[in-house]
Amino acid sequence: MAGGFAKDGAVQDQIDASIEDAVNRTRSRLPRGESRRRCVECDAEIPQARREALPGVRLCIACQEAEDSHQKAVAGYNRRGSKDSQLR
């Protein structure tokens, strides 16, 4: 049974939308295309196994680890079901 203005399943719809947004955001950051033979940051050779495992790779393992450590998780604010967004 829905309460207030929310329809049945609204909470689950909001959760599903948040997960879908996170998956799409992560997929958009995946490398594409042909892998580089040398790292664009430090010019070190990228091993063949890494190039085959990750199509479109452009960083060596060390530079990729450094970049990953600087990436901050995006705390996406889902405004689809936020009452606060309806008040603005």
Has residue 82 got a pLDDT over 80?
no
Taking the C-alpha atoms of residue 54 and residue 69, their distance in angstroms, rounded to an integer, is: 19
Has residue 54 got a pLDDT over 70?
yes
Mean pLDDT of the 8-24 span: 88
pLDDT band at 77 (very low <50, low <70, confident <90, very high): low
- Closest to 32 (Cα-Cα) out of 48, 54, 47: 54
